Chain A
Amino acid sequence: MRRFCDHHPLVQFCYFAAVLLTAMFAYNPVVFAISLLGAVGLWLLTGGGSLRVGGGLLLLFIVITAVNPLLSHNGSTVLFFMNENPVTLESLLYGANGALSLLGVLLWCISFSRLFTSERIYAVLGVTSPKLALIFSMALRFFPHYRQTAKRIRMAQRGMLCVPQQSLMQRIRFEGRAFSALTSYALENGITTADSMEARGYGCCRRSVYTLFRYRACDAVLTGLILLCGGGTAACLITGVFQMTFFPTVQKIPLTPLSLLGYAAFAVLCFFPMILEIGAYVQWNISKSSISPLPMPEKKRLP
């Protein structure tokens, strides 16, 4: 069993495309709940996050749920009236549903950015246009790169005793100086990069592509599984099997045999990376214990 993060980037790309599209467009609480559970699982397995991030996401959920009924007044179950406009239960539930979707999508995107490193982007895009892939990965690199540089500039300024002062004007001046330094650096960096690329022969002939990744049999199996499950959920999405209306009254969650099949397909789609990761972990630990430990050389004592 191979870990999900070790599979071919194309598999992962297909996977996230299928999951994200469903998690965005199926307006159905069951689908969103499955998506959120899967997203949380993968988020934790790919490194998780601090308690603060989790708290922030929960706060986001609460705020969206609470604000939606204050802005949209559709629905028939009136909780109370605010400035002669009804605040309805339907609107509240609609907001909760939307917040669920947003949380799921956010967590999927975090996992996506963690798994999909620039070389993977390059591998996927490089198949169609190596040039575009290069520009894309370079452009993406700028965000973290400049953030780090800005941090470094600030530290250098502090080192030179240009401590940010209490006064607003002084602080603006300090930030302005740091920004100006960053801009000059960025311009210079562009020129150096261009020079460096030219020196390495960029643009002299057609660009070829080299990837570290090989498309193996297990990748094909996984792609097949994604296409099957993703196709199933997409079919449910397009034919409206997942569809439920919130206004004027909340419809019952669709629980027809067909929709149950759809939920199951989506659940398989959402949970199999977790299963792969856990399976690979368990397998590794089992096989590790079955290897007879080699006689280790005695540690030499330092004189």
Chain B
Amino acid sequence: MTERTGKICARLCAVLLGCMICLGGTGNAFAADSRASAVAAEIFAVYEGRGGEAGINGFANGPLSDAAGEGAEFTVLALRQCGVSFDASAYLDALHAALAGRDRNPVEQQRVALALCALGEHTDPFLTGLVDRTFGEMGVMSVIFGLHCLGNGCPSEQYTALSAAGVLCGLQNEDGGFSLSGTVSDPDVSAMALQALAPYQADTAVDACIKQVLVFLQNAQCELGGYSSYGAENAESAAQVLVALAALGIDPQTDGRFIKNGRCLYDALADFACDGGYAHLAGGDAQEGTTRQVFLAAVAALRAEKGLSPLFVIDPPQLSLLPASAVPHADTETQTESFDYRVIATCVLLTIATPLLLFAVLRRLKKRRALPLTIVGVACLAAIAFVWLTRFESAEQFYGGAQDGRDGTVTLSISCASILDRAEAGVLPQDGWILKPETYSFSDGDTVYTVLSNAVRRHRLQWETSGSGALVYVRAIDGLYEGDYGELSGWIFSVNGAMPAYGCGSLTVSDGDTVEWIFSPSLTLPPS
């Protein structure tokens, strides 16, 4: 090789390296909508991380179920109230087992009742007579949580929500706040009382009480914007005040009453942030209970921002309130990882291909045969194209990559009922449903294919597709292949009962659509 070719090689390498560096520089920008959603997303990511590979479901089946009846109740409530859907069956089983284990004190019983309400288990026998046997049995806390239970529809013969609110107002101290005992009020308890009273603001007596508590809280705020309880400024107190303010629709970032020296509650909470959650005291280690209370506060603030009911008035939103960038947490990792292997493969293949091709050109110039060299060189270049055109993912990356949208929901089902009578026993699900109708959220521009992809990912199904983009075609779902039951058999889909004349990759869904994937033996919809 001459000096000149060497120079050319060096320049080529420099250009390649430059390209790689430029491509590598595109980082992932994390843009959160508000401070509340940032905090909620951060803690949610911690919870997901503790669930391991299965994400939030792993968390629900693992750590959450282990702590059933022992403090996990508020985590369940917060997760439901911010619209996160997860598999709660393991938690419910663990909760029932825990309830059978030992007697709970009245406040613990009321917390369990709130968790059951949050999970939609309103008919659980545990709830009957609960308020009557626990209300006021354990001081002000049992009144506060009893009131929450009443507000969420727990039956009671002795109390109505308003009468219970009246009882709570009667426990107010001279200084305007509330306390567990004595006459000196505590910001923590005052904030909790405020949370319980907030839904009954329309009542004049309650309203007067709320105003006094607000004044107390305003005065109790520390110089740094936080709150102290039992002589120490701590994260939990600040979190409880945040929940209370959210319940009343007060934004702590803009309301001058709750900004001290330019610092609001979020600034105060940020002081307690540490690796893996929040600490009780500034500079300490992350604690489970503290992190949970901050998560509750963030969810409450998030609900207030979206104009939803207070945290303890159970009304879970259909779509996750968490910022979209937080939910597909693994997705950004996917991209960086796949980027790495592509670059490595490209470098290796280029180092093989470039000298071969250069050598081939030199031989051609000398009028000698260079076909084998050229073939190997071009094959290497083709391999580079293959690596860049093919997306490789690990199973966890694929199944964890379900996208939550925020523009509406679609009901999707996958059925194989039409060929059930012809299938061998045990091959197909007995009821004919591969996936029962379930709602999936979507973003604008999502197609029927995208929704199916999310369903497949969420339920870890097998599938096979060919083509891509608008021309994508679904060949198999859950091991059931086109052609398995006759030449014309295959997967078809209907939207709102009709078979559209578009492919699943080009038909966009709209809010409230019902998409059915049907395995048909004749490529026609079965008679309904």
Which residues of A are in contact with B by a Cβ distance under 8 Å?
Answer: 72-76, 78-86, 88, 166, 247-248
Contacts and interface: CB of A to CB of B under 8 A. Distances in A.
B181 interface: no
A166 B390 contact: no
B2 interface: no
Given A73-B462, A75-B462, A247 B479 contact: yes
A78 B395 contact: yes
11 contacts: A75-B462, A75-B479, A76-B479, A78-B462, A81-B391, A81-B394, A82-B390, A82-B391, A85-B465, A248-B462, A248-B479
B484 to A, nearest CB: 10
B468 interface: yes
A90 to B, nearest CB: 10
Contacts of B463: 73, 85-86
B468 A83 contact: yes
Given A83-B390, A84-B391, A73 B397 contact: no
Interface residues of B, number: 19
Given A74-B479, A80-B392, A85-B463, 19 more contacts: A74-B462, A74-B464, A74-B476, A74-B481, A76-B479, A78-B395, A81-B394, A81-B395, A84-B391, A84-B398, A84-B453, A86-B395, A86-B398, A86-B462, A86-B464, A88-B462, A166-B367, A166-B369, A248-B479
B479 A81 contact: no
Interface in B462-488: 462-465, 468, 476, 479, 481
A81 B453 contact: no
B465 A82 contact: no
Task: Give the secondary structure class of A's interface.
Answer: loop
Give the interface centre of B394, B395, B397, B462 by most chain A CB atoms within 10 Å: B462
Given A73-B476, A74-B462, A83 B391 contact: yes
Interface in B8-29: none
A83 B389 CA distance: 9
Nearest to B460: A78
Interface string B386-404: 0000111111011000000
A180 to B, nearest CB: 26
B465 A81 contact: no
A72 B476 CA distance: 10
A81 B393 contact: yes
Nearest to B427: A248
Contact of B397 (A76, A81, A86, A247): A81
B79 to A, nearest CB: 28
A69 B410 CA distance: 33
Contacts of B398: 78, 81, 84, 86
8 nearest interchain CB pairs? A73-B464, A78-B395, A81-B398, A81-B393, A248-B479, A83-B391, A80-B394, A85-B464
Contacts of A82: 390-392
A83 to B, nearest CB: 5
A76 B479 CA distance: 8
Contacts of B394: 80-81
Contacts of B462: 73-76, 78, 86, 88, 248
A209 to B, nearest CB: 46
A85 B464 CA distance: 6
Contacts of A80: 392-395
A92 to B, nearest CB: 14
A76 B480 CA distance: 12
A78 B397 CA distance: 12
Contacts of B392: 80-82
B482 to A, nearest CB: 12
A79 to B, nearest CB: 8
A296 to B, nearest CB: 56
Contacts of B465: 84-85
Contacts of A88: 462
Contacts of B464: 72-74, 85-86
A86 B479 CA distance: 11
A247 B371 CA distance: 44
A74 B475 CA distance: 11
Nearest to A247: B479
B427 to A, nearest CB: 9
Contacts of A86: 395, 398, 462-464
Contacts of A72: 464
Contacts of A83: 390-391, 468
Interface string B430-472: 0000000000000000000000010000000011110010000
Contacts of B367: 166
A83 B369 CA distance: 39
Nearest to A248: B479
Nearest to A249: B479
Nearest to A78: B395
Interface in B354-373: 367, 369
B255 to A, nearest CB: 48
Contacts of A166: 367, 369
Nearest to A75: B462
A251 to B, nearest CB: 12
A75 B481 CA distance: 11
A247 B453 CA distance: 22
Contacts of B479: 74-76, 247-248
